[in-house]
Amino acid sequence: MKKIVVLDLDGTLLRKDKTVSQYTVDTLLKFKEENNDILFATARPPRDAYKYVPQLLRDNPIICYNGACILNGKEISFKKEITREDALEIIKNVKNLGYNQISIEVNDTLYSNFDTSDFFGNAPNQIVDLENMNFEKAYKVMVCSKTPISKEVIDELPKSCKGIITDNGTLCQIVDKEASKWNSVKSLTDKIGINTENIIAFGDDYNDFDIIRNAGVGVAMKNAEQDIKDIANSVTEFNNNDDGVAKYIEEKILNS
């Protein structure tokens, strides 16, 4: 029976240095050669997702922005965006709560009202006045903080949006309420005729909660948040730096 593996990137497939070992690539190619499918699901934008997915695996679909768009090759085949009106309301509300470091993703470009290097490293970033910026829609709004972000930020969101706090409480990622990794996974697996019980999803952080909970087999990384481990069907024996995904696939799927 055809299976599909759904792979988060950061903290799951990618090692700490954002690379993927040749052993992991070879294992995934072997999995695909057995008439199975691969799907990537990340919070990253298309420009980063395409950069970090290994060359030999880029012919597989990539869910970006926690489900707000789907990348096939270099083309975006699906998108669910936040309106400018809602984005501006979010910015106003989070500033009222004392959070002033804000970024938005528009047309695969990062715009921010501050230097984001402490949060996103050397990612290209255009510093602008967000409230006066000319745009129609945004894929994602992000609130950054060096201290834990209060859930009040989520409580104050427009009804058309939802948010999740990740990265040890330092980042709140806000998308359209209908955008989720799981919704995008299901839209793709329904098209190719793969049943839920044959979906195997790997993840480590809170934005992987829905794919871990809903997949036929939800696999938390050894380095995953405890809440993710608690809902998973299984936990990898090795972490993301030690080929945890590949070793699990080799032992539990290819050799089972």
> Could you report the per-residue pLDDT of 40-69, keeping only the tens digit for each?
999 999 999 989 999 999 999 999 999 999
Q: Are strands 109-112 and 126-127 parallel, antiparallel or unpaired?
A: parallel
- The C-alpha atoms of residue 52 and residue 46 are separated, in whole angstroms, by 10
The model's pTM is: 0.91
> Using an 8 Å Cβ cutoff, are 18 and 238 in contact?
no
**Statement: residue 1 has pLDDT above 90:** no
Q: Where exactly are the structural domains of the chain?
A: 4-79+179-254, 82-176
> Using an 8 Å Cβ cutoff, are 115 and 121 in contact?
no
User: What is the third-level CATH fold of 4-79+179-254?
Assistant: Rossmann fold (3.40.50)
Q: Are strands 109-112 and 101-106 parallel, antiparallel or unpaired?
A: antiparallel
pLDDT digits (tens, 9 = 90+) for 109-142: 999 999 999 999 998 999 999 999 999 999 999 9
Q: State the amino acid at position 197 in one-letter form.
A: E
What is the structure's pLDDT at 256?
72
Q: State the amino acid at position 136 in one-letter form.
A: E
Strands of the chain (E only): list them. 4-7, 37-41, 62-64, 69-72, 75-79, 82-83, 101-106, 109-112, 126-127, 137-138, 140-144, 161-166, 171-176, 199-203, 217-220, 234-235
What is the dihedral sign for C-alpha 124, 130, 136, 138? Answer: positive
55: three-class secondary structure by DSSP? helix
- The C-alpha atoms of residue 36 and residue 27 are separated, in whole angstroms, by 12
Asked if the 82-176 domain carries CATH number 3.30.1240.10, the reply is yes
pLDDT digits (tens, 9 = 90+) for 162-215: 999 999 999 999 999 999 999 999 999 999 999 999 999 999 999 999 999 999
